[in-house]
Structure 1
Amino acid sequence: MKNITLTILLFSYSFILAQTPCVGGMAGTYPCEGYDLLSHISFADLDATNANDSWGWIDPQDNKEYAIVGLDNGTAFIDISDPINPVYLGKLPTSTGSTIFRDIKTYNNYAFIVSDNNGPHGMQIFDLTRLRSVSNPPETFSEDAHYSGFNNAHNLVINETEGFAYAVRTNTFGGGIHFINIQDPLNPVAAGGFSGVYTHDAQVVTYSGPDPDYAGHEILISCNGYDEDVTIVDITDKANPQAITSFSYTNSNHAHQGWLTEDHRYFLLGDEADEANTGINTRTIIFDFEDLDNPTQLSEYFGPTAAIDHNGYVLGDSYYLANYAAGMRVIDISDIANGNLTESGSFDVYPPNNVASFNGAFTVYPYFESGNIMISALSYTDNNYPGGFYLVRDSSLGLNDNSLNTSISIYPNPVKNLLQIDIKDSVQITNIRVYDALGRLILLKEDQFSSVDVSKISTGLLFIKIETDQGSVTKKVVKE
């Protein structure tokens, strides 16, 4: 029993740290304000030495949510339909050597993945519906299609409205923007490009903002890194893209990434180098895009720490910022028209400090319908930092008890021979899968769901995944 207990402790620490409320400014060892920790998987337990960018997918068939996490050696897929007990389904290995920079976006149930290394990585395409039928996680996946029109790309942008992908800072178009038609996802087609900029990251929208000159046009906003400026491009005609304007801003160092408000009126920009170079606190620059030909700098917002800002995304009246060593910062932008922003919450995934370093939160993904928020985190210099995948939730929404989770109970725990399953609330079980601590499927039960015979299973930690007509739930038990 002592060995089993040690296994549980090690496993809980390194693989899944589950549901810890934010109390008194802390969720376990993590500083927080208004956000609870649901779960955590380190990059080491995703069989990698670092993590980077991330994105999400909601399966339209059953609304199950999946996290897609970029790693230095590939891309991980995680079932988060039970957010307290996420299941690492497997990895798509990189098509070339390892890299700290990988980017993922989704379109029509496919993931599109690029990598910024020196090899001919191109763009990997993965059919996400394959995640519905993973029987023995974690699996090693293969890509479903490949686009080789470029070698490397620092970032990838997709306009899901139009069905086009835009790879930026590739070895084509002078480091500008490489257009790909992905309307048939498994048969991507080169569609031109735009040069004259050295794009670091971008956003593309089918424009519905206040400038009538561009209503319905496809507009690309290119953040040009150390060129210290931003370029707006009309890319409606792929064969003849037109630069609308370029603009800079006060104390410019590295125009890293930005995002429009949902009404396309305001643009929030992060400069990745100003904190380290000038000693200021985290700065977000706000622009008024009422006239796309003449953007104006409206105001600046300064955060409470000196940490470097990275990727930020808007959802409603909130701006979710990956703030490296300061973790996720949630900023209220409801009064952005008057240039007023205020921090409304935070979850710091890098507890050691809040200095201007490249350790901690790389990307925040706030677009899951459940309200759960993913943070992917990396380490540049701290070998003791676990990084990887974090799932958090606004405390005001209540801890994610998962109504399905409370409708199914299992006992005894620990168990020696027969595990009893109790069901209520008219839930119908379709199958029960038992996994060991390494994620290997060791038992599949497809009928007679009132109990599971585990007498022939070796001692240790088990994960019991129960599939139902209302989704799935995973519970942990100890086999004695």
Structure 2
Amino acid sequence: MRKILQILTLLITSVIIAQTPCENGMAGPYPCKGMDLLSNIGLNTFTSDRGNDSWGWTDPQDGKEYAIMGLGNGTAFVDISDPINPVYLGKLPTHTGTSTWRDIKVYKDHAFVVSDINSGSHGMQVFDLTRLRSVATPPETFTEDAHFNGFGNCHNIVINEETGYAYAVGARDANGGGPIFINIQDPLNPVQEGEFTDDNYCHDAQVVIYDGPDTDYTGQEILFGSNADRLSIVDVTDKANPIGISTGLYGSTSYTHQAWLTDDKRYLILGDETDETDLGFNTRTIIFDVSDLDNPVVHFEYEADVAAIDHNGYVLGNEFYLSSYRAGLRIFDISDIAGETMVETKYFDTYPGSDSANFDGAWSVYPYFASGNIVISDINRGLFIVRDSTLGLNDTSAATFAVFPNPAEDLVNITSKSEPITNVQIYNVLGQKVLDKNFTESFSENINITTLQAGTYVLKINSTTAKRLIIK
């Protein structure tokens, strides 16, 4: 049986699977709920034996969407503007050797790549993403456009796009693993400007210009660090003089791994990576109340029905997207998080056959494409592109229409490249139509959305193209 499973795994990692709806709880071989499979590119296509992180880039020139996936031996770039027929454009090879850990973020049309590798000399690679516009014969082998050697191994890279600063975390050989502050406003010329080493090894973080409920820190640049056994909150506004604000502790700590703020910055959703394996929990999520940055406290804990290990989680509107290793992608409604409630509403399991607590399956998820297409990077089975079933499976014309801004607050502009706009409809998450407007073959329209409440919606254009719309 073991040999048969190994053969099946090799087959799975070498093929491209496309367009499979979620029907009766399955999308082909994958358990699902409310999520369709658009395509899957196996690891053999990427000539790698393992996958890890993922992120995304939308080309501001034409709205094309690109998936970026970390591999054991480099970083893969995939054109997913037609998500049913993705195109593997090429790979940026690792700066040094292979590694289980690679991390990518994007700023100003450049990808920034780090790796936690034993040789300790990887540093940070910088790749100009606009080169993806002109790949003539994919897949190509790319070269880095710049390299930063202020550290060697590094576990994660965090970027605050509002300020143009990157934060390298987990660079043990440089400073023990505390956040390193790098000015990347000129992406090809990164400059280190400081570090924070007063509070333990930092495994991952989120950094924001703070506009939450604690007015003492309004307008400050605040780092929320997942520091191995605690939450660490640091004011990093002054790169030469960062100030530790507070730490947040919780019970049954095993390894504080990663966390993400809710949109209102009142709560922070945190995952402990090894409490399932070490302490016997089912998938556990800890929700902190961070409305007072000087005194973060546990608001409640959520424990799932499955035993899988939680890994990376991200918030988009009222939904929390969690890559949960052998349980795949899990999506939660967090609209009543203040009432200590999280409800799992959808999932796509990239590791069929077992939801046990082991380090296989979904490493990360990128849910921020305007099209609603979601990228899952899987350790064993490569790159998955999935989509909420309510958005429709056969929409390959999404790139025809640009929607900006998204998230939006008062007005949203819809622009067409070729097909005239004749009708725009907006549906809420319950499937109820909340807006319906007709136009006389216009190629650009501004839609007033001030009457709609904040949340996630489905925007339908000409009754054929569906996009996800976030209203702030």
For 2:407, the equivalent position in structure 1 comes to none
Amino acid at match of 2:215: P
Q: Distance in 2 between matches of 1:183 and 1:290?
A: 30
Provide, for residues 251-275 of structure 1, a one-character-per-residue CA deviation record: whole Å limited to 9, x for no partner. 1111000000011110000000111
For 2:226, the equivalent position in structure 1 comes to 223
Whether 1:198 and 2:192 are equivalent positions in the alignment is: no
Aligned runs of 1:348-367 on 2, under 5 Å?
348-367=349-368
Report if the CA contact (8 A) 2:76-2:91 is conserved. Answer: yes
Amino acid at match of 2:175: F
Provide, for residues 346-386 of structure 1, a one-character-per-residue CA deviation record: whole Å limited to 9, x for no partner. 0000002000000000001000010000000104xxxxxxx
| Structure 1 residue runs of 4 or more that deviate by more than 6 Å after TM superposition | 10-13
3-state SS, counterpart of residue 334 of structure 2: strand
For 1:109, the equivalent position in structure 2 comes to 109
Whether 1:176 and 2:178 are equivalent positions in the alignment is: yes
For 1:263, the equivalent position in structure 2 comes to 264
3-state SS, counterpart of residue 396 of structure 1: helix
Q: Distance in 1 between matches of 2:281 and 2:230?
A: 19
Compared CA separation, residues 86 and 106, structure 1 to 2 (3 A): same
Name the TM-score, length of structure 2 as normaliser. Answer: 0.81
Shift of 1:11: 9.2
Report if the CA contact (8 A) 1:116-1:153 is conserved. Answer: yes
Q: Distance in 2 between matches of 1:370 and 1:377?
A: 21
Name the TM-score, length of structure 1 as normaliser. Answer: 0.80
3-state SS, counterpart of residue 17 of structure 2: coil
Q: Distance in 1 between matches of 2:108 and 2:316?
A: 21
For 1:6, the equivalent position in structure 2 comes to none
Report if the CA contact (8 A) 1:83-1:400 is conserved. Answer: no
Q: Distance in 2 between matches of 1:176 and 1:150?
A: 12
For 2:254, the equivalent position in structure 1 comes to 253
Whether 1:401 and 2:401 are equivalent positions in the alignment is: no
Amino acid at match of 1:389: L
Q: Distance in 2 between matches of 1:68 and 1:290?
A: 34
For 1:140, the equivalent position in structure 2 comes to 141
3-state SS, counterpart of residue 176 of structure 2: helix
Name structure 1 gaps, 5 residues minimum.
Answer: 1-9, 380-386, 407-424, 428-480
Amino acid at match of 2:130: T
Shift of 1:222: 1.0
Report if the CA contact (8 A) 2:14-2:43 is conserved. Answer: no
Shift of 1:82: 0.4
Shift of 1:277: 1.2
For 2:55, the equivalent position in structure 1 comes to 55
Report if the CA contact (8 A) 1:46-1:76 is conserved. Answer: yes
For 1:376, the equivalent position in structure 2 comes to 377
For 1:154, the equivalent position in structure 2 comes to 155
3-state SS, counterpart of residue 40 of structure 1: strand
3-state SS, counterpart of residue 133 of structure 2: helix
Report if the CA contact (8 A) 1:150-1:172 is conserved. Answer: yes
Match of 1:185 among 180, 184, 187: 187
Please give the root-mean-square deviation of Cα atoms over the aligned residues, in Å: 1.7
For 1:93, the equivalent position in structure 2 comes to 93
Q: Distance in 2 between matches of 1:324 and 1:401?
A: 29
Provide, for residues 203-229 of structure 1, a one-character-per-residue CA deviation record: whole Å limited to 9, x for no partner. 11111100001001000011112xx11
Shift of 1:12: 9.4
Compared CA separation, residues 395 and 15, structure 1 to 2 (3 A): same
Shift of 1:174: 2.0
Amino acid at match of 2:212: G
3-state SS, counterpart of residue 175 of structure 1: coil
What number of residue pairs does the alignment pair up? 391
Whether 1:294 and 2:269 are equivalent positions in the alignment is: no
Q: Distance in 2 between matches of 1:161 and 1:111?
A: 16
Report if the CA contact (8 A) 1:44-1:50 is conserved. Answer: no
Report if the CA contact (8 A) 2:51-2:377 is conserved. Answer: yes
Q: Distance in 2 between matches of 1:185 and 1:81?
A: 25
Amino acid at match of 1:160: E
3-state SS, counterpart of residue 131 of structure 1: helix
For 2:78, the equivalent position in structure 1 comes to 78
Shift of 1:66: 0.1
Shift of 1:147: 0.4
3-state SS, counterpart of residue 158 of structure 1: strand
Q: Distance in 2 between matches of 1:280 and 1:81?
A: 39
Name structure 2 gaps, 5 residues minimum.
Answer: 1-9, 401-416, 420-472
Shift of 1:13: 7.9
Shift of 1:15: 2.7
Amino acid at match of 2:169: V
Provide, for residues 121-146 of structure 1, a one-character-per-residue CA deviation record: whole Å limited to 9, x for no partner. 00000000000000000000000000
Amino acid at match of 1:105: K
Shift of 1:248: 1.0
For 1:130, the equivalent position in structure 2 comes to 131
Compared CA separation, residues 76 and 139, structure 1 to 2 (3 A): same
Structure with max Cα Rg: 1
Shift of 1:401: 2.8
